[in-house]
Structure 1
Amino acid sequence: MTKTFAKSKLYRITLAVAALLASASAWALEPFTAEYEASYMGMQANGRMTLTQAGEGKWRYNLSIQNPLANLSQTTVFQDVGGQWRPLSGTDSSKVLVKSSVKNAAYDWSRGVATWSGDVKPERAGPVKLQAGDMDALLVNLALVRDVLAGKPLVYRLVENGKAKVMKYTVAGKEQITVGGKPQQATKVVNTSGERQTIAWVVDGMPVPARILQREKGSDAMDLRVSAVR
């Protein structure tokens, strides 16, 4: 091996290590609050996502949406285990007109099972066997941002509502969107599952999707657009 080749190889390795360290730094979890302009059930709404610390290595991630017809809230408490985000518990509450519902999820990693309680059907109470890398739907929002910008496969095993399924997003190109009145370049990703489609726009430097659009049977069901992040 010549000295020139050895130096070139060492240089490439150094660059690769630097890139990995930069990537790890970029994906360090930090608290944030994201305000959204939302549309739900055909009406304007206010949306908010927050990430707060919940103890050593633990985080609380919340999404809330409110308008005159509905009040929705989803919360996931998860643990960062060597860069792998494990859901520990979740609460999904909704009040639409006079109908209300509260569902609770418990992810017991010591036993390797997930269970559900509250307003759930008996066949959706679990237990469901857990696998390494399992997430709930809310946690996928954070993972999408991390993985899109890192160029990783956008494939997740979703454990929610008493069942497990694979959720795969595909990259649908780049688009310019408006965030807080300013144009931003975003990566558009799409997941289609039966009659439900979820589309997300990821902007470099933003900890959550800049926009999330859920469509059911070809019609827009919920649209969240970031107006500010702090």
Structure 2
Amino acid sequence: MDASLSSQSVPGFFITFEGGEGSGKTTQIERLAGWLREEGRDVVTTREPGGSPGADALRYVILSGAAEAFGEEVEAILFAAARADHVAQLIRPALKAGRIVISDRFHDSTRVYQGLGSDMDTELLDCLERAALSGVYPDLTIVLDLPAADGLRRAAARRGKALPDRFEKEDVAVHESRRRGFLGIAEMESDRCVVVDARQPVNAVADEIARIVEDRLSAHRLERVGHSLGAAVQGAGGA
């Protein structure tokens, strides 16, 4: 297993977007990726479940609800299998190549959707997470926060006449519990996570996210410079 891909060990930068249904992740990822590309950045956008051939093959099984009858543990294992392929085939290579990777959902969604309010063994979830990520953790997570009822209305409008997927169909109280779950993760891991109020106008949300990302990328560059200087000094001292 490779060592953890920290901000000092790879040139790339990994951003994830989390939040409830209808919180605007897809729109804001498109806005952010467009801005970064205008700034001359090499950007890869992706999503979960999916993002690689193997993970895309599992996406339909998961979101259609076909695996629901087999229980929460089987669903969690399928998510982990999809994520492991996604990391190995797309995310890790892109980060090592120095690209910015932006993913619509990642491991926090599994923590919230499969971990909260269920009888799942937390030790099993932790083991699946470690195995699937293989040391690849986000540098920055944007949590788009929106009351669940508002998000479900947005999701329904976006969906039109199509049927809700495996998770959209659940009760508003379940979605509100998940909202609190994302906020809880953001509070516990505040170095990585930043909460953005998704009730704001789309442009205001995009501007706030751009400022956050610009600050984090600047800090990332400084960390890498410091790491390189430290390595050079250490090497000279051993010469």
Greater C-alpha radius of gyration: 1
Q: Higher strand fraction: Structure 1 or Structure 2? A: 1
Q: Higher helix fraction: Structure 1 or Structure 2? A: 2
Q: Per chain length, whose mean CA-contact separation is higher, i.e. which structure has more relative contact order (CA < 8 Å, sep 6+)?
A: 2
TM-score, normalised to structure 2, is 0.29
